[in-house]
Structure 1
Amino acid sequence: MHTTSPAGRRIGIAGTVTGIGLALALVIPSGANAAPVVSQANGRLIDTTLLSTDALDSIASLGGAKAVNSDGTDAVTSNTPLDPTALSSLDLPIQGVNLFGNQGIIQLGGVGQFAQANGDGSSVAFSGAVTQASSLAGIGTDVTPSNIGSPAPGSNAEVKIGNPATDPATIDVQWGLLAASAKQTVDGTQTGSYTAEAKTIQVGGTVLSPALAAIDGPLKTLLGVANGLGVDVDDPIAGDTVTVTMDDILAVAGVSSINDLPAGTDLVQYVPQAVANKIKEMVNDTLTSVSTAASGLGLVGLPLSTALTTAKAAINPLLSALSTNVVAPLSTALTAVAQLKVNVQTHHTDGSFTETALQVGLGPDGSLGQVNLANATVGPNGGLVAVPVVNSASAGIAGGALAAGLAIVCATVLARRRNALVQTARN
C-alpha cells in the first residue's frame, strides 16, 4: 500500500521551493553583479585631466553624446555636436596659452559626437571627423558636424605647441582625419577602431635651428651662384622649421599603415629621426638638381660645378652629424613638450571600454595635462537579463525566461515523484 508521509510532502515542497528559488536566481541578476542597464554608449570628443568628468558633463555638449537603453525596447540614439561657445569659454591655460578657442593649442573642425544603445544589449559610440562615421561605426553619415576654432582648410584638428623662435622644441600637427568608434556586441565582445591621419607635422625650436642654419649657410652660397647663371633652385630649408608627413613617420616606425602600430604608440618618438631624414632628403635633392643644371650649361656651368664641390665638402659632414646634432637633442626636447599617442584602448574596472584616437600629453609624461581627442565608450551592458519588468515588452522578455526556468523545475519535481512511486511499488 502506497502512503505519502507528511515528511515526504515537506521534502517535495521544500525541493520545489528551492528549485524555483534557483530559477529566479538565474533569471533575475543580483544587484552586485549585473550592469544597471541593458546597453549604453558615449561618444565624447574631448576628455581632459584638466577638468573633472563632472565639470565636463555640466556643459551639455562637452559631456558628449550619451545613449542609455534601460528597458530593452527601441534603440536609443544621441547625436550631440559640440557647442562652439561652450568650448571657447573654457579657461584652460597651459603655460600662459589657452588650450582651446581660436588661438588655443588645440583647434577642432568638422567633428561630431554620436552614441546608440540597442535593445538587444549591443551598443556603439563614435566621435571625431564625421566623414569617418560610416566606415568606423557603421552608423551612416548622419552624424551632425560642428566647426570649432580655425584649423587649416580640410583639417579636422590641429595641435600646435610652442614658439619656434623661443622654445627648445615645437610641434604643429594638422590632422586631416581624426575619429574613433567603439562597439559592444550582444555577446559582450568589445572592440574599437580609429583613424588618425596627420596631413603635416611641422617641427622647430632652438634645438633644431642651429643645425638648419649651419647647413643653410653653404647651401645659400651655392644657390646664389646658380641664380647668377640663370638656374632657379629653391632653398629647401630656409626658415627655422622642418615639415614631415605621416608617411615619413611610418617609414621610421617601419610600418606601412598607422593601424599597424601597437595600441597606445607615441608618434613623437619617431619625429626626430623623420626630421633628420627629411633634411637629408631635401638637401641631397637640391644638390642633385644643381649638379644636373651645371652639366647642362657646359663650360658656362664650370663655376657652378666648382661651387657645388665646395658646398658638398661643407654640407656632407653636417648631414652625417644630424644623428648627434639633431636626433638626440630634439628627441629629449620634444618628449618634454608633448606626447601624441594614437589608438589608446582602455578597459575600465566598471566593465566599460574606451577607444581614443589621439591622446595629447602636455609636458614631460603629460605632467602639465592630458587631453584625449575623439573618444568612444561602450558598456557596461547588462543585456536582456537587465531588463526591469515594468512594461509589457520587458515583462514578456523577463516572463519568458522565468517560464522556461519554472518548466525545468516542474519537470525535475515530476521526475522525482515518479521515481518515488516506482520505488514504493517495488517495496
Structure 2
Amino acid sequence: MHTISPAGRRLGVAGAITGIGLALALVIPSGANAASVVSQGDGRLIDTTLLTTDALDSVASLGGAKAVNTDGSDAVTSDTPLDPTALSALSIPINGVNLFGDNGIIQLGGVGQYAQANGDGSSVAFSGAVSQASSLAGIGTDVTPSNIGSPAPGSNAEITVGDPATDPASLDVQWGLLAASAKQTADGTQSGSYTLEAKQIQVGGTVLTGALAPIDTALKTVLGVAGTLGVNVADPIAGGTVTITMDDLLAAAGVSSINDLPAGTDLVQYVPIAVAAKVTQVVNDTLSTLSTDASNLGLVGLPLSTALTTAKATITPLLSGMTTSLVAPLSTALTAAVQLRVNEQTHAADGSFTETALQVGLGPNGSLGQVNLANATVGPNGGLEAVPVINAASAGIAGGALAVGLAIAAAVMAARRRNAAAPAAAN
C-alpha cells in the first residue's frame, strides 16, 4: 500500500501555502507600493515663502497644474492657466508695496502651467511663457496661456524693486521669456531646463546718481559749448538711471548664454559691472561724436575742441575709477534689496526634483521673503512597480493564482484524510 510520508505531507502543504501566499502577494500591494504612484508632475508658476502651500493650493490656479498617474493607465494631463482674478486678490505687502497686482513688485503676463504623468513611469512639468513649452517640455506640448496680459509690450513678467529717486538702489527688469520644465524618464532619470531673457534692465537709485554726478557735470559743460555752435548731442546719462540689456549682463558675467551660468547664480552680482561698462561706453561714444563734430566745424569748432580736452581730463579718470566709486557701493545696495537667482535645482528627500527658472529674494539674503517664479516638479515616481494590482486584469491573474493555490491545498488535505482513514479501514 502506497502512503505519503510526513515529510511529503509537509512539502505538499508548504507548496500549497506558498501558492496561496503568492496569490495574496499579487492581490495585496506592499506598503511601499501602496504609498507611491506610477508618475506625477506639478507645474506651478508661483511659489513663495510668504504664503503656505495650503494657502496657494486653496486657489485652483495658484495651486498649479498637477497630474498624478496612479494605475499605469493612459497619460494624465493637467493644463491650468493662471487666474488673473486670483492673482490680483493676493494682498502681500513688502515694505508698503504690494507683491503682486497693479503697481506690484512682480507683475506677470501671458503664462501657463502644465503637467503630464505617463503610464510608463515618466512625467513632465512646465510653467512660464507658453511660447517656450515645446522647446522645454517636449514637441507637441500645448499649454493654455492665462489672459492676464503683458505688463509691458512683449514681456511675460516684470520685477520692480526700489524707487530710483529715493532709495539707494532700484531695479526694474522686464522679462521677455521666463519658463522652466522638469522631466523624469521611465528609468528614473531626472533633469530640468529653463529659459530667461530680460528685454530691459533699468537701474537707478541714489548710489548711482551720486557716482554719475561728477561725470555728468563735466559732460554737460562740453555739451553746452557744443549747443552754442549748433551741435546738439543728447546727454546719455541724464535722468539718473541706466538701462542695460541681457547681452550687457551676460558680457559682465563672461558667458554667451544664460544657460552657461552655474545653477543658482544670482544675476544681481553682475548688474553693477554691466552698468559701469554701459556708462563708460555711452560717455566715450558721446565724447567721440563731439570730437568728430568739432573737426567738421574747422576753426569754428576750436572752442568745442578746447572744452573737450578739459572735459576728458576730468571724465577719463572718473570712468576708470568706477570700480571703486560705482561698482562696489551699487553692488552692496542692490544685493541688500533683491536677489535674482536663476536655474535653481532642488532634489528633495522624498525623491522629487524641482526646476525653478527664477528665484526672487527680497531684502538681505531674502529675509523679507522669497518668490520662486516658473517652477516645474516631477516625482517621486514609483514607475510600473507602483501599479496597483487590484484592477480587472491583475485581479483576474491574482484570482486565478489564488484559486489554484486553494485547489492544491484542498487536494493535499483530502489526500491526508484518505491516508489517515486507510489504516483504520484495514483494521
Normalized against structure 1, the TM-score is what? 0.88
2:126: which partner in 1?
126
1:254: which partner in 2?
254
1:65: which partner in 2?
65
Which stretch of the first structure deviates more once superposed, 39-48 or 384-393?
Answer: 384-393
Q: What one-letter code is carried by the residue in structure 2 that aligns with 1:391?
A: N
Which 5+ residue runs of structure 1 have no aligned equivalent? 407-427
2:304: which partner in 1?
304
Is contact 1:107–1:157 with CA below 8 Å preserved after alignment? yes
Q: What one-letter code is carried by the residue in structure 2 that aligns with 1:103?
A: N
1:281: which partner in 2?
281
2:156: which partner in 1?
156
Is contact 1:43–1:113 with CA below 8 Å preserved after alignment? yes
Number of aligned residue pairs:
403
Q: What one-letter code is carried by the residue in structure 1 that aligns with 2:253?
A: A
Q: What one-letter code is carried by the residue in structure 2 that aligns with 1:155?
A: S
Q: Secondary structure at the match of 1:104?
A: coil
Percentage of pairs with the same residue = 81
Query: Aligned partners of 1:313, 1:194: CA distance in 2, in Å?
Result: 47
Query: Aligned partners of 1:374, 1:347: CA distance in 2, in Å?
Result: 16
2:421: which partner in 1?
none
1:232 shift after superposition = 2.4
1:34 shift after superposition = 6.4
Q: Secondary structure at the match of 1:60?
A: coil
Is contact 1:102–1:150 with CA below 8 Å preserved after alignment? no
Q: Structure 1's 206 and 144: CA in aligned 2 closer, same or farther, altered over 3 A?
A: same
Q: What one-letter code is carried by the residue in structure 2 that aligns with 1:39?
A: S
Query: Aligned partners of 1:103, 1:341: CA distance in 2, in Å?
Result: 23
Q: What one-letter code is carried by the residue in structure 2 that aligns with 1:195?
A: T
Is contact 1:50–1:369 with CA below 8 Å preserved after alignment? yes
Query: Aligned partners of 1:28, 1:281: CA distance in 2, in Å?
Result: 72
Query: Aligned partners of 1:219, 1:79: CA distance in 2, in Å?
Result: 55
1:80: which partner in 2?
80
Residues 1:381 and 2:377 are matched in the alignment? no
Query: Aligned partners of 1:41, 1:102: CA distance in 2, in Å?
Result: 31
Query: Aligned partners of 1:187, 1:355: CA distance in 2, in Å?
Result: 19
1:367: which partner in 2?
367
2:324: which partner in 1?
324
Which stretch of the first structure deviates more once superposed, 381-390 or 126-135?
Answer: 381-390
Is contact 1:72–1:394 with CA below 8 Å preserved after alignment? no
1:248 shift after superposition = 1.2
What does 1:216-295 correspond to in 2, within 5 Å?
216-295=216-295
**Residue-by-residue CA offset, 1:135-194 (whole Å, 9 max, x unaligned):** 000153521111436521000000000101111111111100000001111111111100
Q: What one-letter code is carried by the residue in structure 2 that aligns with 1:219?
A: L
Q: Secondary structure at the match of 2:294?
A: helix
Q: What one-letter code is carried by the residue in structure 1 that aligns with 2:93?
A: P
**Residue-by-residue CA offset, 1:41-67 (whole Å, 9 max, x unaligned):** 111000000000000000111000111
Is contact 1:48–1:371 with CA below 8 Å preserved after alignment? yes
Q: Secondary structure at the match of 2:339?
A: strand
Is contact 2:33–2:387 with CA below 8 Å preserved after alignment? no
Q: Secondary structure at the match of 1:55?
A: helix
Which stretch of the first structure deviates more once superposed, 144-153 or 87-96?
Answer: 144-153
Q: Secondary structure at the match of 2:331?
A: helix
What does 1:101-120 correspond to in 2, within 5 Å?
101-120=101-120
1:410: which partner in 2?
none
Is contact 2:110–2:150 with CA below 8 Å preserved after alignment? no
1:293 shift after superposition = 1.4
Q: Structure 1's 225 and 35: CA in aligned 2 closer, same or farther, altered over 3 A?
A: farther
Q: Secondary structure at the match of 1:240?
A: coil
What does 1:13-92 correspond to in 2, within 5 Å?
13-14=13-14, 17=17, 30-32=30-32, 36-92=36-92
1:97 shift after superposition = 0.3
Query: Aligned partners of 1:25, 1:102: CA distance in 2, in Å?
Result: 58
1:13 shift after superposition = 4.7
Normalized against structure 2, the TM-score is what? 0.88
1:15 shift after superposition = 6.5
1:244 shift after superposition = 1.1
Q: What one-letter code is carried by the residue in structure 1 that aligns with 2:207?
A: V
Q: Secondary structure at the match of 1:339?
A: strand
1:416: which partner in 2?
none
Is contact 2:26–2:389 with CA below 8 Å preserved after alignment? no
Q: What one-letter code is carried by the residue in structure 2 that aligns with 1:370?
A: Q
1:18 shift after superposition = 5.5
Is contact 1:126–1:182 with CA below 8 Å preserved after alignment? yes
Query: Aligned partners of 1:309, 1:112: CA distance in 2, in Å?
Result: 56
Q: Structure 1's 189 and 21: CA in aligned 2 closer, same or farther, altered over 3 A?
A: farther
Q: Secondary structure at the match of 1:61?
A: coil
1:192: which partner in 2?
192
Residues 1:204 and 2:204 are matched in the alignment? yes
Query: Aligned partners of 2:259, 2:34: CA distance in 1, in Å?
Result: 34
Q: Structure 1's 262 and 22: CA in aligned 2 closer, same or farther, altered over 3 A?
A: farther
Larger Rg: 2
Query: Aligned partners of 2:313, 2:393: CA distance in 1, in Å?
Result: 83
Query: Aligned partners of 2:23, 2:325: CA distance in 1, in Å?
Result: 73
Q: What one-letter code is carried by the residue in structure 2 that aligns with 1:173?
A: V
Give the alignment's Cα RMSD to 1 decimal: 2.5
1:314 shift after superposition = 1.1
Q: What one-letter code is carried by the residue in structure 2 that aligns with 1:49?
A: T
Query: Aligned partners of 1:371, 1:362: CA distance in 2, in Å?
Result: 8
Q: What one-letter code is carried by the residue in structure 2 that aligns with 1:363?
A: G
Q: Structure 1's 182 and 394: CA in aligned 2 closer, same or farther, altered over 3 A?
A: farther
1:17 shift after superposition = 4.8
1:36 shift after superposition = 2.1
Is contact 1:29–1:385 with CA below 8 Å preserved after alignment? no
Q: Structure 1's 207 and 351: CA in aligned 2 closer, same or farther, altered over 3 A?
A: same
Is contact 1:167–1:205 with CA below 8 Å preserved after alignment? yes
Q: Structure 1's 308 and 19: CA in aligned 2 closer, same or farther, altered over 3 A?
A: farther
1:229 shift after superposition = 1.8
